Chain A
Amino acid sequence: MTSSSSTPEHQHDANTQSASPPQRIALLGHPNAGKTTLFNALCGMRAKTANFPGSTIEARVGQWKHDHTSVQVIDLPGMYGLNLDRPESRVCKAYLHGEVDRMSAPDVLVIVADAANLGRHLLIVSQALQQGRRAVLVLNRIDMAQRKGVTIDYDELRRRVGCPVVAVSARSRLGLDALPAAVANAQQSDVALPSTTSADDAAAWAADVVAACVKRGQHDARASALTDRIDAIVTHPVLGFVVFAAIMIGIFYVIYTLAAWPMDLIELSFGTVGSWIEGVLPAGAIRDLLVNGVVAGIAGTVVFVPQIFLLFLLIALLEDTGYLARAAFVTDRLLRRFGLSGYSFLPLLSAHACAIPAIMSCRLVPDHRDRLATILVAPLMSCSARLPVYVLLIGLLFGDSPALAALAFVGCYALGAIVGVLTALILRRTALRGESSPMVMELPDYSMPSLRTAWLSTYDRTKVFLYKAGTVILSICIVLWWLGAYPSVDAPAHVTEMRTQATAIETASPDRFIEIMDEADRLEARHAQERSFIGRMGRTVEPVFRPLGYDWQITIGVLSSFAAREVFVSTMAVVMVGDESLADEETSLRDTIGSAERDDGTLVFNRATCASLLVFYVLALQCLPTLAVTRRETGGWFWAMVQLVYLTVLAYVAAFIVYRLALILL
């Protein structure tokens, strides 16, 4: 603990006021004060994320259990001041005044400040103390302050702020034992504090408090010099981008290499479950639904979890080191040219895993126009759900050339990102015209990331993704299965004839028997698919997609994947192979699809069609959950419909142009 005139946990004893034990406490402070780390240290896994009613401002709510009591803890969004014209400031102030529906105001306000940078945090401390609530000041990262040679006089600080002061390190759980007593004895500040309307008064008061309570040693100067030297590189206009690009490439490399084996394992596990169900249950509609609807639906969502989990984990770790704030600063220069800001960086990065959490994280973007533009272009970033489609189509296009295939992969990601920022530029110069507010953020000190904090945050986000996306995708798969399975039709006459012929030669030529029976099964499945509700829909809608080179079979794939794009591969497997289990065997599926023929005998997936389809899937908004999240985050259907229509028309036109060019060039 930093040397001081007395230990801070004893300081409230002298001025204890009798009050009822608090039932609810709220954590308030700067974005980088360590509130969430403190919240996780107190509540662990017992937390859920909740919205303030009527807003997209998020707060985590958990239970802090200690000494046989349970206290509700609310982790308020980080903010730099309660009186700022910012959504989080307005909502938090209303909450502290008990003006938010169905959310009771806290009994005790726990103000979290960074002990190593106390001066910067005193403005919000003074504002929070004037909200008429019992309060405790928690000085977090006391271990870091100690390493930097910062000494705090807690007695004097307590006297200046008029409430208990507790020094902790939430990351290492140092000093947390003193928090229950401090919270129980929290009191309303009774000292003279600067006016909340005068920035000059507040700054003078903060400087006065720092001068009286904080002493800085030589370590502090050395640490600052090291931070400055690192910042000179990572925030440099050129070198900063090089470092940023290297880190991003590293993240994606790790994601795609590390996630490969758990993804294979998940696919294998679900394949085993499907086979087991087929072995246990008798043939019938329920077995088909379970294998091809439910198991395939759950597998289709869960298979992407390793990639999403890794991306969230790496982002959380990177955020904890303090680098992500620098990355936002570096990308701010670039994104500003396209009408966005550095705040959009994190949502756009997350969108490469999944657009749903990315759109939700747009709440971090303070400017409304920036936020809206980011939400609208986020689905253009190539998410992991597009991967199976890319793998299939690029394999068909460049299966014999790994270098060209790799280039095509990079091209897909680049196309999405380039069209995304250009769309943002157009939006900011037309429908969302106006100056965006400059990015103001505190660059936190560099620190070793906490695996516990990163794990808890990743677990929380992955759970939300699984629940929100999983339930929707499962429902889609069940509905699609039904539309593809009904109305059930009898096998066509020539298939029945094939089976009769096969039975006749079963003893003489068993291999030929199996071959003919397999072919008969495939023809029957294709016939049933063609006559099913979705097959008829494909035939009806086919003329719309014919200019892009798609026949009725691809049209079924495009239609079925409207709600979730990854459904395209399994739909193609069903339509062309008649056996969805082959969707896991990429080579055999690719070969079968690659040699599938149209009604006129030409290849379904010729090179021009593959190129057109690839561009269509890079740009189209084939994701119902994304649309639903956009509706929720923008407060209505208008922008969700704008997003859907714009991206669909863009994808259609681009795919048409690519198809026509490919017909000439390929």
Chain B
Amino acid sequence: MDFTDWQNWVVTLIALIALWRLLRVVRPSKKNARVTKTSLTISAKKPE
């Protein structure tokens, strides 16, 4: 990788942002995680 080429740094930064967005899909934010713990949770209900 040519470290002197500023374009390489820009695209690497964009790729890191894209990776971060992907990780957010896999690991949702704490705000959403807290929501799923309310007493009305339907989706997390285990089969009887």
Contact = CB atoms under 8 A, between A and B. Distances in A.
The answer on A and B forming one complex is yes
Interface of A: 52-57, 87, 90-91, 94, 100-101, 284-286, 288-289, 368-369, 372, 432, 434, 471-472, 474-476, 478-479, 481-482, 485-488, 563, 624-625, 627-628, 632-636
Q: Which 4 A-B pairs have the closest CB atoms?
A: A635-B44, A54-B38, A482-B15, A478-B18
Nearest to B22: A475
Contacts of A633: 43
Main secondary structure, interface of B, reads loop
Given A632-B28, A635-B45, 7 more contacts: A52-B40, A285-B8, A478-B14, A478-B15, A478-B18, A634-B43, A634-B44
Contacts of A57: 42
Given A285-B11, A478-B14, A628 B26 contact: yes
Nearest to A53: B35
Contact of B15 (A55, A284, A481): A481
Interface string B19-30: 101100110100
Of the listed residues B12, B19, B22, B43, the one surrounded by the most CB atoms of chain A closer than 10 A to its CB is B43
B25 to A, nearest CB: 5
B22 A54 contact: no
A471 B43 contact: no
A257 B40 CA distance: 45
A289 B11 contact: yes
A55 B25 contact: no
Contacts of A56: 42-43
Q: How large is the interface on B (under 10, 10 to 19, 20 to 34, 35 or more residues)?
A: 20 to 34
Interface of B: 1-2, 5, 7-8, 10-12, 14-15, 18-19, 21-22, 25-26, 28, 35-48
Nearest to B25: A628
A74 B21 CA distance: 31
A624 B7 contact: no
B43 A488 contact: no
Contacts of B48: 368, 434
Contacts of A289: 11, 14
28 contacts: A54-B40, A55-B38, A55-B43, A284-B7, A285-B7, A285-B10, A286-B11, A288-B11, A289-B14, A471-B21, A472-B22, A474-B18, A475-B19, A475-B22, A478-B14, A478-B18, A479-B22, A481-B15, A482-B15, A485-B11, A487-B1, A563-B22, A624-B22, A624-B25, A624-B26, A632-B43, A634-B43, A635-B43
Contacts of B45: 368, 635
A234 B43 CA distance: 34
B4 to A, nearest CB: 12
Given A472-B22, A475-B18, A486-B1, A53 B40 contact: yes
Contacts of A485: 11
A100 B47 contact: no
Contacts of B22: 472, 475-476, 479, 563, 624
Contacts of A563: 22
A55 B41 contact: yes
A481 to B, nearest CB: 7
Contacts of B43: 55-56, 632-635
